[in-house]
Amino acid sequence: MAPRELYMERELLPAKYEPKLEKKVALEAAARIRRFVEDRLSKDLNMVMSPAPLAFESTSKINDDLDGSEAMKAVQFHIANIPRDRGVVKEKEEAEQFGLDAEVVQSLANWKRCMLKFFDFAPGSGLFCASTSIRKGYKGDTTHSNVAEQWDWEVRITEDQRNERFLKETVRKLWTIIKDAEKMITTTYGIPPSLPADLYFTTAEELHAAWPDADVHERETQACKKWGAIFIVGMGWPLKDGSPPEEVRSPSYDDWTLNGDIIVKHPVTGYRHELSSMGIRVDAATLKKQLEHRNMTYLESKPYHAAVLNDELPLSMGGGIGISRLVMLLLQTGHIGEVSVGVWHDAHFHQAKALGIDIIPDRLIPGIL
């Protein structure tokens, strides 16, 4: 195979790019967006902001396994829990008694539901976190960083709210927050709005029928070009004609018939731009069915999964909103690295720089910083 000429594909890069704001002003604007959204999540969804874990004990299987592939496995490490005196080199280490294996958070989907029980939230209330995770399986591009930031949120619901109507009501509340944040940025910084007034609700089956020869991202891009912003209802099950799912989802948290993504057209790249993934969470019957479909019934004995199967956790709805993705959208930057700090290859920095894109660096790089 011939070597790759460029780190990023040309079609994903903005042409004739000029940032809307000077770098320091963009930093201030990003902070405003964060404060605005966190305040509105608290008020509009009746949630309390919670501290977020950076890692989980590995054997609990409470972490998000994303699509379940080897590439998307969580970053793992060992905690020895052995006392060490600073500056003292011991000839023989103390025997390890309390060591444990841990892994870096990929998302807080399962953990948040457990916290609804821990904090005894009533139906109609919940919590959210500003979480940071490492996605080592991602190849960095204009909208994907291997260091991901999101508002992870979870609200307790009742049995009669486990339906598509309630799902859409909640999606519309989040869309109102996003639109109001856009108005705030337009008023404060003069960046013209790019989002439509309303979301268009569709399904994976409808998108597949409309663009049968396109791959998943291409048909989502076409839908966003047509409607501006969409919410795809029902992601996880294979399509009726046997085609793969719109997106492979973990079987452990979302009910695959009552979940979905908010995706918009990015005003600079012109490409699909996923902002949020959410869903009504599995009950005992749904979890069992989805684990069986994915041949993952071995998880049924794990603490979190067993608690769901035994009806020991509250019914809930939750999701994640990409913090850097939303900031990138509202400030109309051409690259997610302009509003967040990831770990990028030198070639990535230089290719972006040549197009007028200043990625925030994590280190000193000749020609960049």
Confidence (pLDDT) at 2:
40
User: Which member of 141, 247, 255, 261 is catalytic?
Assistant: 261
39 is annotated as an active-site residue: no
User: Which member of 252, 277, 332, 351 is catalytic?
Assistant: 277
- As given in the structure block, the two tokens for residue 90 are 């011991």
* β-pair type (200-203, 47-49): unpaired
Nearest in space to 178 (alpha carbons), one of 260, 254, 112, 263: 263
316 is annotated as an active-site residue: no
- Using left for φ > 0, alpha for ψ between -120 and 50, and beta otherwise, residue 46 falls in left
User: Which member of 103, 149, 220, 274 is catalytic?
Assistant: 274
**Phi and psi for 277 in degrees, rounded to 5?**
-125, 135
Confidence (pLDDT) at 1:
37
277 is annotated as an active-site residue: yes
User: Which member of 107, 150, 250, 276 is catalytic?
Assistant: 150
Longest Cα separation, the chain: 69
Confidence (pLDDT) at 46:
98
Confidence (pLDDT) at 88:
66
150 is annotated as an active-site residue: yes
d(CA 227, CA 353): 32
- Alpha-carbon Rg for the chain, nearest whole angstrom, is 22
Confidence (pLDDT) at 138:
79
Nearest in space to 143 (alpha carbons), one of 298, 365, 361, 339: 339
Nearest in space to 106 (alpha carbons), one of 132, 125, 127: 132
User: Which member of 64, 141, 255, 338 is catalytic?
Assistant: 64
- As given in the structure block, the two tokens for residue 254 are 């979302």
Q: How wide is the angle at C-alpha 264 spanned by C-alphas 258 and 268, nearest 5°?
A: 160
> pLDDT tens, position by position, for the chain (369 residues)?
344 556 667 667 777 789 999 999 999 999 999 999 999 999 999 999 999 999 999 998 888 777 666 667 889 999 988 877 776 666 777 778 899 999 999 889 999 999 999 999 999 999 999 999 988 887 888 898 999 999 999 999 999 999 999 999 999 999 999 999 999 999 999 999 999 999 999 999 999 999 999 999 999 999 999 999 999 999 999 999 998 898 888 999 999 999 999 999 999 989 999 999 999 999 999 999 999 999 999 999 999 999 999 999 999 999 999 999 999 999 999 999 999 999 999 999 999 999 899 999 999 999 888
64 is annotated as an active-site residue: yes
Per-residue H/E/C for the chain? CCCCCCCCCHHHCCCCCCCCCCHHHHHHHHHHHHHHHHHHHHHHCCEEECCCCCEEEHHHCCCCCCCCCCCCCCCEEEECCCCCCCCCCCCCCCCCCCCEEEEECCCCHHHHHHHHHHCCCCCCCEEEEEEEEECCCCCCCCCCCCEEEEEEEEEECCHHHCCHHHHHHHHHHHHHHHHHHHHHHHHHHCCCCCCCCCCEEEEHHHHHHHCCCCCHHHHHHHHHHHHCEEEEECCCCCCCCCCCCCCCCCCCCEEEEEEEEEEEECCCCCCEEEEEEEEEECCHHHHHHHHHHCCCHHHHHCHHHHHHHCCCCCCEEEEEEEHHHHHHHHCCCCCHHHCCCCCCCHHHHHHHHHCCCCCCCCCCCCCCC
- As given in the structure block, the two tokens for residue 149 are 């930031």
283 is annotated as an active-site residue: no
User: Which member of 113, 135, 156, 281 is catalytic?
Assistant: 135
Strand order in 100-104's β-sheet?
Answer: 55-57, 100-104, 76-79
Amino acid present at 24: K
pTM of the model: 0.93
Confidence (pLDDT) at 3:
47
